[in-house]
Chain A
Amino acid sequence: MINFSFDGKNYTAEEGDTLAAALLRNGIGLVGRSFKYHRPRGIMTAGIEEPNALVTIGTGGRTEPNTRATDVFVYEGLVAKSQNRWPNLSFDVGSILGLAAPILSAGFYYKTFFGSAKRWMLYEYFIRKAAGLGNAPTVADPDRFSQRAAFCDVLVVGAGPAGMQAAVDAAEAGKRVILVEQDSILAPSLVRDPQEQDAAWISATAGRIRAANGLILTRTTASGYWEHDLVTLTQRISEPGQIPAHGVAQRLWHVRAGHVILATGSIERPMAFAHNDRPGVMLSQAVRTYVSRFGVIPGKRVVIATNNDDAYKTALALADSGTQVVAILDARPAPAGEDSGFRVYNNAVPLSTKGARHCLTNVSALVDGKPISFDADLLAVSGGFTPVVHLHMQAGGTLDWNDAAQAFIPATSRQNVTTIGGGADPQPIFKMVPVSPPKKSFIDFQNDVTLADVDLAWAEGYRSVEHLKRYTTLGMATDQGKLSNMAALGRLAEKQGVAIPEAGLTTFRPPYTPVTMGLLAGAGAKDAGAHVRQLALYQLHAEKNPIWQPLGYWFRPRAYPTDGETLAQAALREAKAVRTTVGMTDVSTLAKFEVSGPDAAAFLEIICATTVSKLAVGRGRYTFMLREDGLVFDDGTVWRLEENRYLLTSSTGGADRMATHISYVRQYLCPHLRISAVNVQEHHAGIAIAGPKAKAVLAALIGEEPPRHMSTVPAVIGGVPVIILAASYSGERAFEIYVEANKAATVWVACESQTTAQGGTLYGLEAMEFLRIEKGHLVVGGEVDGRMTPHDLALDKMLNKAGDFIGASGLSRPALAEPGRRQLVGLEAITGDIPEGAMLVTGEGTSPQGHVSAAAFRVLAGGSIALGQLTDGFARHGEELIASSPTRGQQARVRVVAPHFYDAAGERYRD
């Protein structure tokens, strides 16, 4: 005995019950309200195709709305609620919508929407409240979802008799086999319809599969078939709303299979007749499942409507259970086979149903053209069988039409997939044409689509099945047309006057059954994306409790405030130290490439737009790189460390794309060059020391005369080998020290001690930004924004005249030399502080002629300055403009000047 609750009332279930079985066991027939008209609905099926019995399971973060009651197994304490009803299920105010059915017919949304936007606004509120399914939970799901990759020779989907036989055959032939079954038990169809293969056969076969190292997964659905025989499986480890025993609620498998065998069977079809959606109308096989598998008899007086032999098994199962089979309505004109002993009417089709208090009371039928009615509380219908071809179609398959079964069956596929069992060979049926008035003859129960809606869509000119689907919403939501598509196709084909195969099919898209979003996100959901990397010197920074700033994959110190300083105060103090004494900072994240070999210079002159080969050993230079279209891509420095060995640096943020670019050029464009190009970005940590006293600090560290500006020497600091590059980003005499990352701490501590001894300090990215803006140095992503040519950035004098670098062709496009391009300028404020990102305008209401890419203050002299891009800016020095930022509500009057605010002659670099 298992205790559960439904709509706040407590009930008991038997072990192994689905919620649907448990509800029927407790005599609950009314389970939900329909999507549009709020019609009372009951349980129609015993499987994942259930369109009506959608419930919300669980509480809090484990709430799972729109769960099919047929696809959840009852556990102790399960909490289920019905949906789309107010105030309660049996008295639902919304059901008055049923009376408004004429205005809610197919295309209602489109018609009102196109008619008038105002009307839509009015209706939308009402529709959103009234129409719909369950509500999504509003708190986070506490459960974990895991993902797993697997490989096998044979993946068998569906553990019916055919699937189990295929799995055991493959496993015993030495293949690696995975067998998946969406139900909680193996071979549920054999439990429903005992045949030669009985329970003993099932357990023996499962044992043989496992003995041959086959993997059997139950409660696992093959939800999608992707490229190259990749099948995703969604495995329920705990039931919806249930607290997982071992933390993981569900697992998503990515299975790459050598061969996929689909033994997915068929889904029984309902029939279209008036009021065929009433609780008490159930599919024939579902009735048999409840009787034979769960021991639940869903009715006392049963009418069966069929067009095939299979439904007679339902009659036998009901009779065995002592239930009265009132009549069998067989659409076939004459008896097929021997006398079953039941009261069989041939040439008989159901017409309509009646009910009271949401229960079926009466079934009327047309027998030989004459109406006849039966008192009954259960109507079991079998309208034929639709093979489950979803995975076959997702694999890029084609279908054949099987006229005897009135069904599509799998034909060819471009992947390694085979369909076996009932899905490949459905039972023959008698073709029926609906005779009831179409208005209340539902074909899509979940979306409240009737035959009349299909007729209306046709009358309004919707000819294609894809249009029909979108116009009527047929085939959407959780069941994705598993019950309705064939009925709709039949009606459409009838209207078109063609055979069903010519009417076309909609696309079978994954997932086969609904998949919870958490499962797709998996364990990585919380910190998806790029992982944060840690600086080699992280610990030394952290001890000083800096303000951190993300840069590329790293966090770098933005400033080191002391004594309650603000960011701006700290940054200004640090920048002043660099201008007046000395400062040091961590530049480890810069992109770094070591290029060596006899053709190293030639290779670098392909990558870089400047000359490289003219560098003497021990010298370096500023350089920049172009994209193939001639626009500036990145910039940095290049150093000749030895005769055939160079170090190239470029921006932190562009490091990955530069690494890819260098690799592409080396591997694809220049495989003949004798070089090695190695990404050493994280191999070296980097320390920059800048300021008038930087030279003194260096001399004390390395015990010799430091290299002059743009020179490099190897040296040793604190016993650790380093490379010294004399380069300056700040505008002061400066050095960069590169050291193997895992030995960087020793060097940093030595540098800090000498810097402090000279009265200097540490500085962060904010001070660095002040310094470089004042100096007019570029930032990739700021001034270098992917739209600027070397000329636009005033770099064109540095271009390699030989011109064999990447981007030389693109740069020679005439349009790039035309007037009207944005060009790099400096801006100084006349009044106000220049807002970063502001647009540059000539006056109120005029179009922007450029923008501010970076704003700062003169470090020593004070005053707001900025770098920016301005149309034809080179020729406009001296002009006054307005830098306006409406989003910040700030503006400043500015004067256009050269983009060098400090030591334009570069005298401070030199000794």
Chain B
Amino acid sequence: MMQFTCPHCGPRAQAEFVYERTVDSVVPLDASPEDAMATLFTRNNPRGVDDEIWRHTYGCRAWMVVTRHRVTNEIIAIRAVGPEALS
């Protein structure tokens, strides 16, 4: 079980988090139908670093982007998202 450092709560066990999707499979609200479907159904699955959206569901419920190496599980970065993270 991995450990993520929630930007709001600090280090917490993976069991408190729920995976949503990778950042590159986010469908922007203004996507064209072709782009939306390409984003939804033809996804990357890199053997290496990827940006993933996770939610601290069983904690503060905030969303975050976890930059993770998918082979070694090294966590390269975690950044907060949402209104509070807007500068």
Number of A-B contacts (CB under 8 A): 77
Contacts of A666 in B (CB 8 A): 82
Report Cα–Cα, A813/B32, bound state, in Å. 10
Given contacts A228-B73, A230-B1, A256-B13, contact A667 B32 (CB under 8 A): no
Contacts of B61 in A (CB 8 A): 663
Establish whether residues B40 and A671, one from each chain, have CB atoms under 8 Å apart when the complex forms. Answer: no
Contacts of A606 in B (CB 8 A): 29
Establish whether residues B37 and A813, one from each chain, have CB atoms under 8 Å apart when the complex forms. Answer: yes
- CB closest residue in chain A, given B53: A668
Contacts of B33 in A (CB 8 A): 809-810, 812-813
CB of B19 to closest CB in A, whole Å? 12
- CB closest residue in chain A, given B34: A809
Report Cα–Cα, A907/B76, bound state, in Å. 62
- CB closest residue in chain B, given A804: B29
Establish whether residues B26 and A669, one from each chain, have CB atoms under 8 Å apart when the complex forms. Answer: yes
Establish whether residues B36 and A667, one from each chain, have CB atoms under 8 Å apart when the complex forms. Answer: no
Q: Which residues between 67 and 83 of chain B lie within 8 Å of chain A, taking CB atoms? A: 72-75, 81-83
| Residue A806 CB within 8 A of the other chain | yes
Which residue, of A226, A227, A666, A668, has the highest number of chain B Cβ atoms within 10 A?
Answer: A668
Contacts of A254 in B (CB 8 A): 1, 13
Q: Quick one: which of B2, B18, B26, B30 contacts A668, CB cutoff 8 A?
A: B26
Report Cα–Cα, A396/B74, bound state, in Å. 11
Establish whether residues A663 and B55, one from each chain, have CB atoms under 8 Å apart when the complex forms. Answer: yes
Establish whether residues B73 and A227, one from each chain, have CB atoms under 8 Å apart when the complex forms. Answer: yes
Establish whether residues B13 and A809, one from each chain, have CB atoms under 8 Å apart when the complex forms. Answer: no
CB of B87 to closest CB in A, whole Å? 11
CB of A533 to closest CB in B, whole Å? 16
| Residue B63 CB within 8 A of the other chain | yes
Given contacts A809-B31, A809-B32, contact A663 B63 (CB under 8 A): yes
Q: Which residues between 644 and 693 of chain A lie within 8 Å of chain B, taking CB atoms? A: 660, 663-664, 666-672
CB of B8 to closest CB in A, whole Å? 12
Contacts of B75 in A (CB 8 A): 228
Q: Quick one: which of B20, B27, B74 contacts A809, CB cutoff 8 A?
A: B27
Which residue, of A628, A660, A804, has the highest number of chain B Cβ atoms within 10 A?
Answer: A628
Establish whether residues B82 and A668, one from each chain, have CB atoms under 8 Å apart when the complex forms. Answer: yes
Establish whether residues B40 and A810, one from each chain, have CB atoms under 8 Å apart when the complex forms. Answer: yes
Contacts of A872 in B (CB 8 A): none
Contacts of A812 in B (CB 8 A): 33
Establish whether residues A629 and B73, one from each chain, have CB atoms under 8 Å apart when the complex forms. Answer: no
Q: Quick one: which of B18, B37, B85 contacts A671, CB cutoff 8 A?
A: B85
Establish whether residues A668 and B72, one from each chain, have CB atoms under 8 Å apart when the complex forms. Answer: no
- CB closest residue in chain B, given A628: B27
| Residue A300 CB within 8 A of the other chain | no
Establish whether residues A671 and B83, one from each chain, have CB atoms under 8 Å apart when the complex forms. Answer: yes
Report Cα–Cα, A26/B23, bound state, in Å. 67
CB of B86 to closest CB in A, whole Å? 6
Contacts of B28 in A (CB 8 A): 669
Establish whether residues A810 and B36, one from each chain, have CB atoms under 8 Å apart when the complex forms. Answer: yes
Interface string of A27-38 (1 = CB under 8 A from B): 000000000000
Given contacts A230-B3, A810-B33, contact A668 B27 (CB under 8 A): no
Report Cα–Cα, A256/B2, bound state, in Å. 10
- CB closest residue in chain A, given B39: A628
CB of A805 to closest CB in B, whole Å? 9
CB of A321 to closest CB in B, whole Å? 48
| Residue A470 CB within 8 A of the other chain | no
| Residue A414 CB within 8 A of the other chain | yes
Contacts of A414 in B (CB 8 A): 72, 74
CB of A394 to closest CB in B, whole Å? 13
Establish whether residues B37 and A672, one from each chain, have CB atoms under 8 Å apart when the complex forms. Answer: no
Contacts of A629 in B (CB 8 A): 37, 40
Establish whether residues A660 and B55, one from each chain, have CB atoms under 8 Å apart when the complex forms. Answer: yes
Contacts of B40 in A (CB 8 A): 628-629, 810
Report Cα–Cα, A149/B11, bound state, in Å. 14
Contacts of A671 in B (CB 8 A): 81-83, 85-86
| Residue B62 CB within 8 A of the other chain | yes
Establish whether residues B3 and A664, one from each chain, have CB atoms under 8 Å apart when the complex forms. Answer: no
Interface string of A3-46 (1 = CB under 8 A from B): 00000000000000000000000000000000000000000000
CB of A728 to closest CB in B, whole Å? 33
Establish whether residues B82 and A669, one from each chain, have CB atoms under 8 Å apart when the complex forms. Answer: no
Q: Which residues between 197 and 252 of chain A lie within 8 Å of chain B, taking CB atoms? A: 226-228, 230
Report Cα–Cα, A377/B2, bound state, in Å. 52
CB of A298 to closest CB in B, whole Å? 43
Q: Quick one: which of B3, B30, B32, B63 contacts A256, CB cutoff 8 A?
A: B3
Given contacts A628-B27, A810-B37, A813-B33, contact A228 B82 (CB under 8 A): no
CB of B60 to closest CB in A, whole Å? 11
Establish whether residues A396 and B72, one from each chain, have CB atoms under 8 Å apart when the complex forms. Answer: yes
Report Cα–Cα, A660/B21, bound state, in Å. 13
CB of B82 to closest CB in A, whole Å? 4
Contacts of B83 in A (CB 8 A): 667, 671-672
Contacts of B2 in A (CB 8 A): 227-228
Interface string of A592-612 (1 = CB under 8 A from B): 000000000000001000000
Contacts of A809 in B (CB 8 A): 27, 31-33, 35-37
Contacts of A813 in B (CB 8 A): 33, 37
- CB closest residue in chain B, given A811: B33
Q: Which residues between 784 and 815 of chain A lie within 8 Å of chain B, taking CB atoms? A: 804, 806, 809-810, 812-813
Establish whether residues B1 and A668, one from each chain, have CB atoms under 8 Å apart when the complex forms. Answer: no
CB of B53 to closest CB in A, whole Å? 7
Report Cα–Cα, A842/B26, bound state, in Å. 43
Given contacts A663-B55, A810-B40, contact A228 B26 (CB under 8 A): no
Establish whether residues B1 and A226, one from each chain, have CB atoms under 8 Å apart when the complex forms. Answer: yes
Contacts of B57 in A (CB 8 A): 660
Establish whether residues B1 and A669, one from each chain, have CB atoms under 8 Å apart when the complex forms. Answer: no
Report Cα–Cα, A615/B53, bound state, in Å. 35
Q: Quick one: which of A660, A667, A804, A806 contacts B82, CB cutoff 8 A?
A: A667
Establish whether residues A668 and B63, one from each chain, have CB atoms under 8 Å apart when the complex forms. Answer: yes
Which residue, of A228, A256, A396, has the highest number of chain B Cβ atoms within 10 A?
Answer: A228
Contacts of A670 in B (CB 8 A): 29
- CB closest residue in chain A, given B61: A663
- CB closest residue in chain A, given B21: A664
CB of B17 to closest CB in A, whole Å? 13
Report Cα–Cα, A322/B82, bound state, in Å. 78
CB of B73 to closest CB in A, whole Å? 5
Contacts of B13 in A (CB 8 A): 149, 230, 254, 256
Q: List 5 A-B contacts (CB under 8 A).
A: A228-B1, A414-B74, A628-B27, A804-B29, A810-B36
Q: Which residues of A contact B (CB under 8 A)?
A: 149, 226-228, 230, 254, 256, 396, 414, 606, 628-629, 660, 663-664, 666-672, 804, 806, 809-810, 812-813
| A-B residue pairs, 9 tightest by C-beta | A809-B36, A667-B82, A228-B3, A809-B33, A227-B2, A667-B63, A812-B33, A671-B83, A227-B73
Q: Which residues of B contact A (CB under 8 A)?
A: 1-3, 13-14, 18, 20, 26-33, 35-37, 40, 53, 55, 57, 61-63, 72-75, 81-83, 85-86
15 additional A-B residue pairs with CB within 8 Å, beyond A227-B1, A227-B2, A809-B33: A226-B1, A230-B3, A256-B13, A396-B72, A414-B72, A606-B29, A628-B40, A660-B57, A667-B62, A669-B26, A669-B29, A672-B86, A804-B29, A806-B29, A809-B27
